[in-house]
Amino acid sequence: MTARVFLNGQWLAAEEARVSVMDRGFLFGDGVYEVIPVYSRQPFRLEQHLARLQHSLDGIQLANPYRLNEWIAFITQLAREAEWEDQSIYIQVTRGPMAVRNHAFPTQITPTAVILAEAMNTPPANQREQGIAAVSAADIRWLRCDLKTTSLLANCLLRQLAVSAGCVETVLFRDGFLTEGSASSIFVVKNGVLLAPMKNHLMLPGITYDVILELAAQHGLAHDVRDITEAETRAADELWMCSSTKEVLPIVELDGRTVGAGGTSGPVFAQMYAWYQEFKAKVMRAAP
Ligand code: PDD
């Protein structure tokens, strides 16, 4: 079966979908995106992802080409029709094509909107059980990391540092404080308390991050949202990464040094992972 993709209001075979080389998304990374997990064909936290898309569009001064109910209809249609039960749905909106290359916005904007589905590959059980290794790096990105823009070169370079070292993620520090991962949010556990960096312009407001804090509150796990120093991160009992596609994973090694006492996945992680799976199952059962 040929995958179908949504391009500017039309459903096309993936090979037929074409975007101009003059598209500002291609030439300038002038666009925003979302990645929405789909379990058993049910989009997870769809409204929250679409609210964040609106925040990103507002942040780059680009009018949303569709209303909320239109996005919901397109995405649920794709989730129903795509080849896989569990998917990761990618949506992207760019400022569209321009007649001549010019950094300033064109006077007439025709945005380019794309929606496509890929198979969702949640991390293998051994990563969850044994944990993963990470490296750290200085956060070299710009000062609007709260916007989910397609200008991801810094994130790509930072992620590659991890891959080149045989690791999974790069944990980022800016001016001595933890921000996030190259493509994930990061949590610290110390003395039984879950610590999360405060949402601000230096990190993406993660949808999975919100779910984890909600679950902590719901189950009475002590938690604190505040600035976290690099030293505190390195002295963590447990370190986690989370995202829509990775869910939540324990980081057991940072820059070649064991995190906490274990060198393996910790007890607070095991509890949170169980709550997360239970919550997902409940949400999916309640879906129409
Ligand atoms: N990225 N921080 C960054 C820089 C990210 O790129 C992501 C996710 C997250 C986690 O956000 P969420 O929980 O909403 O997925 C945090 C996606 C998955 C990606 O770029 O593929």
> How many Cα neighbours within 13 Å face the side chain of 51?
7
Q: Where are the domains of the chain?
A: 5-119, 125-284
Report pTM: 0.97
Dist. CA 10 → ligand 1 center (Å): 27
Dist. CA 244 → ligand 1 center (Å): 7
Q: How many other CB atoms are found less than 10 A from the CB of residue 8? A: 14
User: Do the domains at 5-119 and 125-284 have one common CATH topology?
Assistant: no
Placement of tokens 């780059």 in the chain: 60
Locate the ligand 1 atom nearest the alpha carbon of residue 185 and give its number: 16
Query: Does residue 1 carry a pLDDT above 70?
Result: no
Q: In CATH, what number does 5-119 get? A: 3.30.470.10
For ligand 1, mutation pick of 153, 171, 184, 209 (most atoms within 8 Å of CB):
184
Ligand 1: does its nearest atom lie under 6 Å from the Cβ of 179?
no
- Judge: domain 125-284, CATH 3.20.10.10: yes
Lowest mean pLDDT among 84-98, 138-152, 166-180, 251-265: 251-265
Backbone angles phi, psi at 69, to 5 degrees: -70, -25
In angstroms, rounded to a whole number, what is the distance separating the alpha carbons of residues 97 and 105? 10
280 is catalytic: no
Dist. CA 183 → ligand 1 center (Å): 5
Classify burial at 154, counting beta carbons within 10 Å of its beta carbon; exposed 0-12, middle 13-18, buried 19 or more: middle
In angstroms, rounded to a whole number, what is the distance separating the alpha carbons of residues 208 and 215? 10
Tell me how many degrees the CA angle 241-51-212 measures, rounded to the nearest 5.
Answer: 30
**What would the pLDDT profile of 223-254 be if each residue is shown by its tens digit?**
999 999 999 999 999 999 999 999 999 999 99
| Residue 147 CA from chain centroid, whole number | 11
Structure token pair of residue 153: 């070169």
